[in-house]
Chains A and B, each alone.
Chain A
């Protein structure tokens, strides 16, 4: 019983901290924080981060630790949709399909270079990130392109039980991802590839195929995320994509402290996303603005990675 309690305390400590944080904000800002609006903002506005962190998780699980290009891939895809449909008059569905294809291809190129050729992942994805940001700025002529139709925004903003449908997309992706990892041979293979490639290869796992697949899946998720974001905002500011990168890493690393301590996991990552959203919103409602997100996300990344390192050490002992 004591052991069960201790395990539970380890697994859900982050949830406890989250609860304390909510209680704290609630206590000092009851008028602003303690409203259903706050609740909606926290759970309804994180679509980009949810898609990005799930995409990053794909490659991190198979042992590719620093895909720096996810945010830029999502940004390019979110830019392509309004550029094609608003500026070039293309059918918006076709534009969305093209955007998803572009995202998937970008992931595949990452995969070919990192897995096929064996180039260092930091170099490849850092270059890819800057390259795609540049392309996004070029196709949008350095402007925010908006004007997507209201009816199209339904795919992101449709109200379901008081929250936009993107929230449920995130839940669904995380649940499917968690199922794949925990309950299918593919997921077990992914975990082993991330843990020890040679052991996996000798057990008959097609290691490179799995690594490549993870990059493609990551690109695909970025593409879908881009389409959803563009639909929700009615357009996209291509230069804003870079600001998503840091919180994505923070959320994924925070996730290692929850549910399965010491392991990257989708449900924990989702908790990480909303944890960060709560923190930043509370600070904003306290009157801090502008610079606070840099300070908060930067600090959160350092703390999250430190925490993840410590938790992994404790979990191993």
Chain B
């Protein structure tokens, strides 16, 4: 494949098709098999690529997981590997470093305290820091910048700015390689697209003007697929007890949320980053202690201020977190071990684990969610991102939760996998569970939810029901009242 100077080149393909592997080959993380060749600005690059050489070549990468050091400050993260030193003492010139970091961030339209620890940042700010780090080494008119799903953590308002920024990079003659699952994003931002399927290029540099979403999906899959949500069986809920009730929930961002989730109901919750919608799942799942609030599930009242995750798991609450590697799965353990973990206490007697049910559950997850490869003994860390996501969902779905709490369940997941995931979530809902989906993707919310709650400043400010749940409706509600409060500050900066 060829990326022209001055172009934004999209790279798409299903999970496991080799997008990330390609980026990691180009950035020197993996060593390629012999026989390939890479040229940057006309000059051949020695393989395997040496990471130290990347700066000089004008290549930089923003990886999928952002590659940030949580315990270090923003300035350290942005400037790592490029610190300028005093001549004599070889000590780092921190004033200058802070200034450079601040400039790099301002260039992205964000005001982030350079001395803040990355751990304490919101997801959107984390992404900004990673992107700032990649862009600071860019020489106008040369080199390649690769974004591996890095825009997925950006809220919609920074997204536009991000797109403007990469257009600017391309406009000055630099090249951008944009790896993304957001086909809409690729089609609107990229000039040309390369499609990978099973590690092979199936379309090389096709101009986006000749493509639409449907065609792109066909190329990725090799067959036709309806990209809309799968069918969902209708259920009547009249007269049934709600699946869950939350009252007066308060956390770091959430400030007094009360909500009810009906049996078989899928409720979306969204808002701007920082509005609290991204914290709510973790308060309800017991992952973060709440300051106050209670949750009623299956006839049990749980005080969220004192509850531990175990209480909530036992009550039938399943939390599917966004950060798969940190909270969702144990990457060094096998698929089977990960899937069965929450039920090991229940199924096994203290003296015996029993293996039949474990095997059966693993096979169920592989079958129902279409995990590839279908190997229960495989170490989860060796599965592709989308398949890991399926395993994480399967782990909790198999327990028939009364309340399923999801945070960005289909982020960075390809179209076919997304469909599989949605179909399973729908089935769980149909069986009578309540589902709460927290996320920023209006498309996803629209195709899944019966109701969408919009949060602002830690409170639920608006509710969309039935026919009002449309992409436009959700986006408009999220961005309404821009002229005041927290949202206005962000928008003003962007």
Contacts and interface: CB of A to CB of B under 8 A. Distances in A.
A259 B285 CA distance: 38
Contact of B333 (A192, A201, A205, A206): A192
Contact of B344 (A189, A202, A316): A189
Contacts of A315: 379
A259 to B, nearest CB: 15
A212 to B, nearest CB: 15
B337 A188 contact: yes
B337 A204 contact: no
A284 interface: no
Interface in A169-198: 182-189, 191-192, 195-196, 198
A285 B249 CA distance: 72
Categorize the interface residue count of chain B.
Answer: 20 to 34
Interface stretch (B142-150, B269-277, B320-328, B473-481): B320-328
A199 B329 contact: yes
A68 B211 CA distance: 63
Contacts, number: 78
A316 B381 contact: yes
Contacts of B112: none
A203 interface: yes
A123 B2 CA distance: 55
A317 interface: yes
A17 B115 CA distance: 54
Interface string B261-304: 00000000000000000000000011100000000000000000
B252 interface: no
A201 B327 CA distance: 9
Given A198-B326, A316-B379, A316-B382, A191 B353 contact: no
Interface in B300-317: 308-310, 312-314
Interface in A243-289: none
Given A183-B352, A185-B353, A188-B344, A204 B330 contact: no
B332 interface: yes
A185 B309 contact: no
B348 interface: yes
Contacts of A192: 330, 333, 337, 341
Contact of A184 (B310, B352, B379): B352
B285 A202 contact: yes
Interface in B374-392: 379, 381-382
A204 B353 contact: no
Contacts of A203: 309, 313, 341-342
A128 B350 CA distance: 33
A252 B298 CA distance: 46
B456 to A, nearest CB: 28
Contacts of A182: 353
Contacts of A206: 308, 310
Given A195-B330, A196-B331, A204-B313, A188 B342 contact: no
Given A185-B345, A185-B353, A317 B330 contact: no
B330 to A, nearest CB: 4
B355 to A, nearest CB: 8
B347 to A, nearest CB: 8
A186 B312 CA distance: 20
B308 to A, nearest CB: 8
Nearest to B314: A204
B356 interface: no
B455 interface: no
A317 B344 CA distance: 27
A185 B348 contact: yes
Contacts of B345: 185, 189, 204-205
7 nearest A-B pairs in the assembled complex, by CB-CB distance: A204-B313, A204-B310, A196-B330, A195-B330, A185-B348, A185-B344, A203-B342
10 contacts: A186-B350, A188-B337, A188-B341, A189-B345, A192-B337, A198-B327, A205-B310, A206-B308, A206-B310, A317-B382
Given A183-B352, A204-B310, A316-B381, 18 more contacts: A183-B353, A184-B348, A185-B345, A185-B348, A186-B350, A187-B353, A191-B337, A192-B341, A195-B333, A196-B331, A199-B326, A199-B328, A199-B341, A202-B286, A204-B342, A205-B310, A205-B341, A205-B345
